[in-house]
Amino acid sequence: MSEFELNEKTLEYVHPTGWTYHAVAMDLGSSWARALDPMTAIRNAGGWSRPVAVACAYGKFGDLESTQWGNFTWDQWEPIPVGLFLVTPRSIKPMPSKTKEFGKHQDCDEWIAEFFDAIERWKRTDDKACNE
């Protein structure tokens, strides 16, 4: 979907430029959310009773999507990574490299660097590979 019409519903989460913050929980059956600001998208995607890792990117509405595994996909418009966050019922923090909930894993800075690498791969390919 390259073009869209602004209406009362889309104005709740899409800027007049056509871009939105898209957040996705990083687990199977991922929940996701869009919002006008990153913190609302992150909170709405991961506001559960247990800690969850939530990734967030800023991208063109209708182009930036997420998979059931918590990855982002896009076709035409280069998205901007916001970060990977640890979301609990009481807080949202940049993901550290080690947590009691998830053990040792990718931290926020590593996730952003990997996302930029995926964008560079996407720019070099005809099939528009995405962040996986």
When mean pLDDT is compared across 37-41, 79-83, 99-103, the lowest value belongs to 99-103
Model pTM score: 0.83
- In order of 5, 13, 15, the CA distances from 36 in angstroms are 16, 5, 6
Q: Determine the pLDDT at residue 19.
A: 94
8-state DSSP, 87: E
8-state DSSP, 70: S
Q: Check pLDDT > 80 for residue 64.
A: yes
Identify the CA nearest to 36 among candidates 18, 15, 16, 56.
Answer: 15
What is the average pLDDT score of the chain? 83
- CA torsion sign for 102, 28, 82, 73 is positive
Q: Determine the pLDDT at residue 97.
A: 86
Q: What is the mean pLDDT of residues 103-120?
A: 88
CA dist., res. 86 & res. 108, Å (int): 9
Q: Determine the pLDDT at residue 50.
A: 83
Identify the CA nearest to 56 among candidates 77, 68, 69, 70.
Answer: 70
In which band, very low, low, confident or very high, does the pLDDT at 2 lie, cut at 50, 70 and 90? very low
pLDDT in tens, 5-44: 555 566 788 988 899 999 999 876 678 999 999 999 999 9
Helix, strand or coil for residue 56? Answer: strand
8-state DSSP, 49: S
